[in-house]
Structure formats: structure tokens, C-alpha cells
């Protein structure tokens, strides 16, 4: 039998049916244990329903389910049926319903799923998103699925899938608009898991993964869900919404279940250090936590220091704080720092870093930046740093990061145009910028002007288009950029707009309208909105707004340099 998701799950069910696969944690409820047998039976209910609805192997099934145990069963049910599951975010109070509906409608029109699995509270939005002539043949609601008796005769179509078949879609977390579906094969995921497991010295007999990460993001889906389940390692899983409300539950769960591995975005280190109170740490023991791996956005040494200082008295070891560079297009991990050692840091000359592509060690007394390594490439991955023409750059020179591996995406699903543009001479162009030093990658920037806020990718152009929707603001008279906030460990979004009316009250009213409109129509809550007079914004010779030049101007005027 070919090694696929379905065959691997069935193997665990056959050999260790009563072994705990997932400890599912819900606020206000007893922790729930899902053995491999229970997970398989719960998934079989969904697989049976998909089969009854005529959903065929190789067809896409979109899952839009709030954070409950049925989301896990629905994913595996689609896999058992041989379909291609794709987990999407559900609508929350922070998202504008109209914008969410437009994005979902666009995604469905491109991805062309055969079915959508959701819950009855979401009925009106899903039905509006499905246009006449849509590919969607079936909308399945949890209330109509649950309670059925599973058929576990082990004849699921998913057992006949081939390793090179697409097994899942991951969708990028852009600000607005159409999201790109990253199509991954069974083989690509297994290649990633094997290489990643070797890098982090995974031990099925001893390791326990603890995660709060959302499953619609590659860090949560791969590291915080598929890695432990497919590897036969217990997973302690909680809702990201529960974590945000009570971040101490992560540490208490590590202590209770003797967790050994977790992954988090950079902002989470600062968030935990600031929000968790002493009273929540009584009896907490973090000595079993051998790796808390920082990835998903540029890693910050200062964030690691804040986290360690806050929790070292709970037994947290300094070498437990590790780093990684990851992306959905490579399934997940690209690099990994060396476990058992603190990640390498460099103190570099700040002026040289800001004004050139060269990395120069800082001299004593001179302004400097602390850069932290994201580690070495996984053993099935090659990395190079290149200039815009594809020329490979020497060490300590900033350029675009390109990679090759055996766990790359098959394609951006049904987007051959984007897929083709993403490769150059067989190398995937990440759009991220960094430099190599001693075979380790230091990530310095992001895709052009991309802003990363709390692990979310924010595209300034999208926010600028929202600002232009406001009466009185015209295209080319607004600019958005990010400024790193040392206290929060992530970026603040700054919006600047020109206004003709010099009246201070009118400017304040305009700033309030911009803040409210952007907050309502995107995942961003604007904190900094500046209204200037005419001709403040700097443009390039071709008439385009120069975000980098405007950012520099803002920093100088505010005395932030």
C-alpha cells in the first residue's frame, strides 16, 4: 500500500487504537481525549456523508468551522474520502461581513470546490457566496452530519490515493482579496515531516506537542496538527481564541501534559511575557519544554529575551527558545536552528544595514541591530540568496531568498499564471529578503513592502485602496507602512493621508474615519493615522508612492531614528 495520509492514519488505528492522539482543550469544559480509534470513527462519519453526496476523490472540500473538535474530524473525513480538504477562517466579530463574503465568493470561484462543510449559523453567508453555476454541489452542515453511525469497513477511497496526488490546500492569509491556494501532495508533506523530524530530533516515545495555532495557517496545520498525528505523537490542542483570552493556559498545559514541543509566531513571545500574571504560574513547570520554535515572521532576539526572563523561574531553559524560517509553499519548515544550543546572533552596524545590502559587524559604541539566525536549511532543502537578476550573492549580502526542495507545492491551485512567475530556473522565489552567514539564514525583510502584524500578512496596497474609498482621499494621496514595535514584538501599521482642509478638527475627523473604515474592512486595527497637508507624500519618478521613502521621512520627523 502506498504511504498516504489515509494509510498512515489507519496504521495507527490498527496498531495503537487506544493511544491518545489529541487532547482537545476547551475553556470551561473538561479536557477531551481523542484516541486514534475515536478520531478515525469521527472522521468516518464525515467520509460517509461526503460519499453519499457524491463527492469524488480529488475534489476540493472547503471547511469553514469554528474551533471545535468537529473541525478535526471533518478534515480527516475529507482525507478518507480521497477529497482535498481546505480549512478556511470563519467569520469573527473582527471581520467585516461584506468584505468576508466578497473574499469567500472570489475564492470559491477560483478554487471550484465540490462541497462546503460548515455550521448552521454560517448558512446565510455560505449560500450567498455560491453563485449560479458554481462548482459547489453540496453544502453540508454539522447539525445534519453528527450523530450518524460510522462505517469503518476500511474501504475508503482515500486509501487508494497515490503519494503524488494533492492531499490538501493551504490558503495564504492576505489582507483582502483573492487568496492563493497552495496545493501539496502526500509525498511533499511526508518529505517535510521526515526532514523536520530529523532536525528537531523527534522522539515518538517521549515527545508531546502543545499548540494553540489556527489550522488555516501552515504553522498550525503542519507543525501543530499533522506532524504529531501522522508521527504517532500526542497533541495537546487548544483554540487560538481561548489562548488570546487566557495565554497562561498554554504554559499550564505544557506543565500538565509534560509538553516538549511548541511553535509560535514572534508576537506571541511578547504577548505571553506581558499578559501572563504570577498567579497563573503557581505550580507551573516548563522544564520539559525542550523546543519553543519561533517562526512565521522575522525572529527577534529581544522577544526571546523577554520570554525567557519572564518564565525562567518556571524551569524554562534558555536553549529551549529556538528559531525557524517557514512558508506554506515549502509545506512548512525551510530552516531550523540547532536544538540544544541557543540560536546564533549577530550585532551588525545599523547604518550600513539601512543604507546598503552589506552586513558589517558593529563597532563598539556605534548604533547596532541584533540579528538572530533562523538556522540551517533542512536536509532536503537548498537555499540561496540572489539579486533581482538571479545572480547568487556572497555571504553577508542581502538579497532575495530562493529555495529548492522535495516538499515544495505542486502549484498554486488553478493559478498557473502565479505558479509560473514564482519560479526562476527551477528555484522558488520567496519574495523574502535575508543573507547567509556560515550556512545559516538571517531573514531581514519581507515580500517587498509586506507588513507582518501578529503573524498576519498585511499588504499596504490593500489598506491604501480601502483608504481611497473614503470621500476626500484620492489615489496617490495616502501611504501605509509598518514600524516594528519592540514592546509588542510585532509591527504597528502607520497610515498617512493628505488633506486639503487645514482645520485640526477636520483632520481629526478624517483620521477617525480612516481608522474606522480600515478596522471594519480588514484584519488590521490602525493605531497610527497621520493627516498631513498637500504634497507631503513622496513619489517615485514614475509617479508611484514610495513607501520606503515615506517611512524614512516619518521616522525622521517623529524623531524615531
Whose CA is closest to 281, among 321, 252, 239?
252
Of 103, 131, 161, the one marking the end of a domain is 161
| pLDDT interval class at 100 (50, 70, 90) | confident
pLDDT on residue 283: 96
Query: Is residue 289 situated within a structural domain?
Result: no
Domain endpoint, select from 106, 127, 161: 161
% of the chain with per-residue pLDDT over 90 = 68
**Residue with the three cell numbers 465568493:** 105
Which tens digit of pLDDT belongs to each residue from 105-164?
989 999 999 999 999 989 999 999 999 999 999 999 999 998 777 776 668 999 999 999
Average pLDDT over residues 165-190: 81
88-92, 426-430, 487-491: which has the highest mean pLDDT? 426-430
Residue-wise pLDDT for 313-351, tens only, equals: 999 999 999 999 999 999 999 999 999 999 999 999 877
Domain assignment present for residue 330? The answer is: no
pLDDT at residue number 463: 84
pLDDT of residue 153: 66
Distance CA 382, CA 304 (A): 27
Say which CATH number the domain at 478 has.
Answer: 3.30.300.30
pLDDT band at 235 (very low <50, low <70, confident <90, very high): very high
> Residue 541's pLDDT is what?
42
Q: Are 380 and 403 in contact (CB under 8 A)?
A: no
User: Are 83 and 59 in contact, with CB atoms under 8 Å apart?
Assistant: yes
Domain ends where: 130, 161, 192? 161
Asked, for residue 122, whether it belongs to a domain, the answer is yes
Q: Provide mean pLDDT across the span 5-22.
A: 97
* Residue 144: φ, ψ to 5°: -95, -10
Parallel/antiparallel/unpaired status of strands 376-377 and 333-336: antiparallel
Its domain, for residue 46, covers 1-16+34-161
Residue 4 lies in a domain: yes
pLDDT of residue 556 exceeding 70, the answer is: yes
Q: Does residue 302 sit within a domain? A: no
Are 111 and 60 a contacting pair, CB within 8 Å? yes
CATH number for the domain spanning 77: value is: 3.40.50.980
Q: What is the pTM of this model?
A: 0.85
The grid cell for 314 is 518556571
Is 506 a member of any domain? yes
DSSP 20-73: EEEEEE-TTS--EEEEHHHHHHHHHHHHHHHHHTTPPTT-EEEE---SSHHHHH
Let me know the angle formed at the C-alpha of 137 by 131 and 138, rounded to the nearest 5 degrees: 105
More confident position, 4 or 505:
4
> How many domains does the structure of the chain reveal?
2
Of 239, 339, 294, 221, the closest CA to residue 452 belongs to 294
DSSP collapsed to 3 states, 229-293: HHHCCCEEEECHHHHHHCCHHHHHHHHHHCCCEEEECHHHHHHHHHHCCHHHHCCCCCCCCCEEE
Residue 392 phi/psi, 5-degree rounding, is: -70, 130
Q: Is residue 418 part of a domain?
A: no
Residues 526 and 495: beta-carbon distance below 8 Å: yes
Domain annotation covers residue 50: yes
Q: What is the pLDDT of residues 271-292, one digit of tens each?
A: 999 899 999 999 999 999 999 9
Residues 180-228 have pLDDT tens digits of: 899 999 999 999 999 999 999 999 999 999 999 999 989 999 999 999 9
- Give 397: exposed, middle or buried? Use CB within 10 Å, 0-12, 13-18, 19+: middle
Amino acid at each position: 500500500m502506498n504511504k498516504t495520509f489515509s494509510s498512515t492514519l489507519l496504521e495507527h488505528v490498527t496498531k495503537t487504537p487506544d493511544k491518545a492522539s489529541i487532547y482537545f482543550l476547551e475553556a470551561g469544559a473538561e479536557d477531551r481525549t481523542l484516541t486514534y480509534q475515536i478520531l478515525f470513527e469521527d472522521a468516518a462519519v464525515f467520509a460517509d456523508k461526503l460519499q453519499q453526496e457524491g463527492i469524488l476523490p480529488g475534489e476540493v472540500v472547503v471547511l469553514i468551522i469554528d474551533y471545535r473538535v468537529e473541525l478535526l474530524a471533518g478534515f480527516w473525513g475529507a482525507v478518507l474520502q480521497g477529497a482535498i480538504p481546505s480549512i478556511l477562517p470563519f467569520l469573527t466579530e473582527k471581520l467585516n461581513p461584506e468584505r468576508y463574503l466578497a473574499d469567500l465568493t472570489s475564492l470559491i470561484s477560483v478554487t471550484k470546490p465540490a462541497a462546503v462543510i460548515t455550521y448552521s449559523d454560517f448558512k446565510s453567508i455560505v449560500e450567498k457566496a455560491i453563485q449560479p453555476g458554481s462548482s459547489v454541489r453540496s453544502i453540508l452542515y454539522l447539525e445534519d452530519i453528527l450523530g450518524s453511525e460510522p462505517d469503518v469497513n476500511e474501504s475508503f477511497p482515500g486509501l487508494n490515493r497515490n503519494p503524488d496526488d494533492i492531499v490538501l490546500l493551504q490558503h495564504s492569509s492576505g489582507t483582502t482579496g483573492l487568496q492563493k491556494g497552495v496545493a501539496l501532495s502526500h509525498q511533499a508533506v511526508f518529505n517535510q515531516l521526515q526532514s523536520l523530524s530529523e532536525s528537531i530530533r523527534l522522539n515518538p516515545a517521549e515527545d508531546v506537542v502543545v499548540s494553540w495555532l489556527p489550522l488555516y495557517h501552515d504553522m498550525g496545520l503542519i507543525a501543530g496538527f499533522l506532524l504529531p498525528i501522522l508521527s504517532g505523537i500526542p497533541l495537546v490542542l487548544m483554540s487560538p481564541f481561548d489562548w488570546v483570552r487566557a495565554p497562561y493556559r498554554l504554559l499550564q498545559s505544557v506543565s500538565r501534559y509534560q509538553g516538549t514541543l511548541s511553535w509560535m509566531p514572534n508576537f506571541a513571545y511578547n504577548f505571553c511575557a506581558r499578559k501572563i500574571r504570577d498567579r497563573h504560574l503557581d505550580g507551573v513547570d516548563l522544564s520539559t519544554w525542550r523546543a519553543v520554535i519561533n517562526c512565521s515572521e522575522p525572529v527577534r532576539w529581544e522577544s526571546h529575551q523577554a520570554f525567557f526572563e519572564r518564565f525562567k523561574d518556571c524551569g524554562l531553559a534558555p536553549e529551549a527558545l529556538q528559531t525557524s524560517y517557514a512558508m506554506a509553499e515549502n509545506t512548512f519548515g525551510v530552516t531550523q536552528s540547532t536544538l540544544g544550543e541557543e540560536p546564533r546572533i549577530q550585532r551588525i552596524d545599523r547604518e550600513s544595514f539601512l543604507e546598503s545590502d552589506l552586513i558589517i559587524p558593529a563597532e563598539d559604541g556605534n548604533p547596532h541591530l541584533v540579528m538572530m539566525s533562523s538556522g540551517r536549511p533542512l536536509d532536503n532543502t537548498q537555499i540561496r540568496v540572489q539579486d533581482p537578476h538571479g545572480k547568487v550573492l556572497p555571504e553577508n549580502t542581502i538579497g532575495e531568498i530562493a529555495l529548492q526542495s522535495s516538499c515544495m507545492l505542486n502549484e498554486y491551485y488553478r493559478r498557473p499564471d502565479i505558479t509560473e512567475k514564482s519560479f526562476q530556473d527551477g528555484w522558488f522565489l520567496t519574495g523574502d529578503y535575508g543573507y547567509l552567514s556560515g550556512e545559516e539564514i538571517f531573514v531581514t525583510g519581507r515580500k517587498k513592502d509586506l507588513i507582518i502584524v501578529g503573524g498576519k500578512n498585511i499588504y499596504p496596497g490593500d489598506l491604501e485602496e480601502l483608504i481611497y474609498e473614503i470621500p476626500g482621499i484620492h489615489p496617490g494621496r495616502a501611504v501605509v507602512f509598518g514600524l516594528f514595535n519592540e514592546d509588542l514584538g510585532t509591527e504597528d501599521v502607520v497610515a498617512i493621508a493628505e488633506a486639503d482642509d487645514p482645520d485640526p478638527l477636520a483632520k481629526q475627523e478624517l483620521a477617525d474615519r480612516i481608522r474606522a473604515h480600515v478596522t471594519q474592512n480588514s484584519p488590521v486595527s490602525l493605531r497610527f493615522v497621520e493627516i498631513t497637508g498637500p504634497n507631503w507624500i513622496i513619489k517615485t519618478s514614475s509617479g508611484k508612492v514610495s513607501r520606503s521613502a515615506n517611512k524614512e521621512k516619518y521616522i525622521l520627523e517623529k524623531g524615531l531614528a
